[in-house]
C-alpha cells in the first residue's frame, strides 16, 4: 500500500502495520540530521502519510523595528515567540469596528512566507493546490489556515481582556466570536475547493492544566462556532482535523459531538494519551502522542525507542492513529535522540 492508502485505512479505524506516521523538524534540527547522515539523501526514506500545509492568507503591514500590524489592526512584535503588543479593540464593543473579509486574501498572497515552524510549509493558495495535486497519490492531504476563531478573538481584544469579557461582557464576546465565525466560514468556502482530503483548524484551547477558559465557558461560547465550521467542511466532503495544544481532555466528548474527526497534537505532558485512546479511540482519530517537551529533549535514545514502539503497539491497535511528535523536533533535541526517533519511526516491523 502507498502511505496514502495506509493513512486512509487507519483513519477508517482499520489496524494498519507498519503504523502510519509523519515526521517534522525545525530547520536547525533537520540540518544536524543531514550532517549526521552525510547529506539530505536519508530524507528519501521518509514518506509522510499525511501532507499538511498552511495556506497563507493574512497580509502583514511592516511597522519597523520588528513590529507589524495584522489584518485586524493588532500590533505584534516579531521574535521567539512572536507576541501581541497592542490589541486593536480597546473596549468591549463592536461599534465602529469591522472584521474585514478574509477570503479574498487567499488569492492576494502569491509569495511563499516562512511559517512559525519551518517544517510546516506556508504556501499561497495556488502553490498549495499544485502541491496537493502532485502528492495526492502518495499522501493524505490536509490544508490549514492558521489561527482559528478563539485565538483571533483574544488577538483582537487582548488575552486577559477577552477572557474577562466572557464573564463581564458576554453579549460582546459572543458577537465578536459570531462575526469571526462568519468570516472564517467565508474563508473555509474557498479552502474546501482545494484538492485536499481534509481541513485542519488551529486553536489552542488548553494549557498544561486544562482548558484555558474552563469547559463551561468553552461549551457556551466556542463550541457553537466550532460546530458550524466542522459542519461546513463536512458538507464539502472534507475530514475535520483540529490542532490544539495543551490539555483538552475535559472537552473531547464535546469536540466529537461538534463533528471532529482527527485530534492533533496530543501532548502527553498535558493529557493522558493512552487513556484518550481507551475512552474515545472508536469515535475519534488521534494524530501525535510523542512528547517534545520532556522525552525528546531530556530522555535517552533507549527511552525514546521504547516509547515509539509502545505508541505503535497500543495507540495503533484497532486503527484510528497516526504517529508523530506533538511538535516538530527542535534544535534543543540532542542529535542522538533525534536519530533514535527517526530510526524507530521508520522501523517497519510494527
List the chain domain ranges: 3-59+97-346
Between 214 and 122, where is the model more confident? 214
Residues 131 and 82: beta-carbon distance below 8 Å: no
3-59+97-346 is classed CATH 3.20.20.210: yes
Query: What is the separation of C-alpha 83 from the centre of its chain, rounded to a whole number of angstroms?
Result: 18
Cα distance between residue 350 and residue 345, in whole Å: 9
Residues 240 and 260: beta-carbon distance below 8 Å: yes
What tens digit of pLDDT does each residue of 107-123 get?
766 555 544 334 677 89
pLDDT of residue 109: 60
Task: List all residues 6 or more positions away from 89 whose beta carbon is below 8 Å from its beta carbon.
Answer: 97, 156, 157, 158, 176
> pLDDT above 90 covers what percent of the chain?
90
Residues 191 and 106: beta-carbon distance below 8 Å: yes
What tens digit of pLDDT does each residue of 263-279 get?
999 999 999 999 999 99
pLDDT at 220 exceeding the cut of 70: yes
Average pLDDT over residues 136-162: 96
Cα distance between residue 233 and residue 259, in whole Å: 10
What tens digit of pLDDT does each residue of 241-250 get?
999 999 999 9
pLDDT of residue 120: 76
Q: How far is CA 181 from CA 84, 96, 314, in A?
A: 21, 19, 37
pLDDT of residue 264: 98
Task: Quickly count: other Cβ atoms within 10 Å of residue 272's Cβ.
Answer: 12
pLDDT of residue 79: 87
pLDDT of residue 261: 98
Lowest average pLDDT, out of 111-115, 166-170, 255-259, goes to: 111-115
pLDDT tier for residue 105 given thresholds of 50, 70 and 90: confident
Task: Quickly count: other Cβ atoms within 10 Å of residue 96's Cβ.
Answer: 7
pLDDT tier for residue 106 given thresholds of 50, 70 and 90: confident
Average pLDDT over residues 126-134: 94
Average pLDDT over residues 42-61: 92
67: left (phi over 0), alpha (psi -120 to 50) or beta: beta
Average pLDDT over residues 224-240: 98
Task: List all residues 6 or more positions away from 205 whose beta carbon is below 8 Å from its beta carbon.
Answer: 150, 211, 212, 213, 218, 222, 244, 246, 248, 251
Cα distance between residue 305 and residue 220, in whole Å: 42
Average pLDDT over residues 273-286: 98
What tens digit of pLDDT does each residue of 288-315 get?
999 999 999 999 999 999 999 999 999 9
- Picking from 213, 77, 35, 238, the residue whose alpha carbon sits closest to that of residue 145 is 238
Task: Look over the chain and give the mean of its residue pLDDT values, rounded to a whole number.
Answer: 94
Beta strands in 273-337 (DSSP E): 285-290, 321-325
Amino acid at each position: 500500500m502507498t502511505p496514502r492508502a495506509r493513512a486512509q485505512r487507519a483513519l477508517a479505524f482499520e489496524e494498519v502495520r507498519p503504523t502510519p506516521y509523519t515526521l517534522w523538524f525545525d530547520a536547525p534540527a533537520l540540518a544536524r540530521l543531514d550532517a549526521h547522515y552525510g547529506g539530505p539523501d536519508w530524507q528519501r526514506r521518509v514518506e509522510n502519510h499525511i501532507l499538511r500545509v498552511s495556506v497563507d492568507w493574512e497580509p502583514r503591514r511592516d511597522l519597523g523595528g520588528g513590529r507589524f500590524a495584522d489584518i485586524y489592526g493588532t500590533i505584534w512584535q516579531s521574535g521567539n515567540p512572536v507576541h501581541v503588543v497592542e490589541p486593536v479593540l480597546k473596549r468591549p464593543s463592536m461599534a465602529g469596528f469591522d472584521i474585514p473579509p478574509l477570503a479574498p486574501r487567499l488569492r492576494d498572497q502569491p509569495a511563499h512566507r516562512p511559517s512559525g515552524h519551518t517544517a510546516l510549509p506556508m504556501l499561497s493558495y495556488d502553490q498549495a493546490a499544485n502541491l496537493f495535486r502532485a502528492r495526492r497519490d502518495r499522501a493524505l492531504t490536509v490544508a490549514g489556515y492558521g489561527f482559528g476563531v478563539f485565538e483571533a478573538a483574544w488577538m483582537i481584544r487582548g488575552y486577559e481582556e477577552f477572557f474577562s469579557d466572557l464573564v463581564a461582557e458576554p453579549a460582546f464576546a459572543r458577537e465578536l466570536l459570531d462575526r469571526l465565525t462568519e468570516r472564517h466560514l467565508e474563508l473555509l468556502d474557498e479552502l474546501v475547493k482545494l484538492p485536499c482530503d481534509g481541513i485542519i483548524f488551529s486553536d489552542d484551547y488548553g494549557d498544561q492544566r486544562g482548558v484555558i477558559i474552563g469547559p463551561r465557558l468553552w461549551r457556551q461560547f466556542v463550541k457553537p462556532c466550532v460546530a458550524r465550521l466542522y459542519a461546513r467542511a463536512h458538507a464539502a466532503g472534507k475530514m475535520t482535523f483540529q490542532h490544539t495544544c495543551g490539555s483538552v481532555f475535559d472537552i473531547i466528548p464535546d469536540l466529537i459531538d461538534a463533528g471532529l474527526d482527527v485530534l492533533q497534537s496530543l501532548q502527553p505532558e498535558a493529557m493522558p494519551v493512552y487513556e484518550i485512546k481507551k475512552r474515545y479511540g472508536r469515535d475519534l482519530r488521534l494524530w501525535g502522542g510523542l512528547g517534545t517537551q520532556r522525552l525528546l529533549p531530556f530522555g535517552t535514545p533507549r527511552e525514546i525507542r521504547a516509547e515509539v514502539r509502545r505508541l505503535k503497539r497500543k495507540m495503533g491497535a484497532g486503527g484510528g492513529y497516526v504517529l508523530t511528535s506533538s511538535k516538530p523536533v527542535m534544535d534543543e533535541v540532542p542529535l542522538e535522540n533525534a536519530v533514535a526517533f527517526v530510526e524507530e519511526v521508520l522501523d517497519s516491523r510494527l
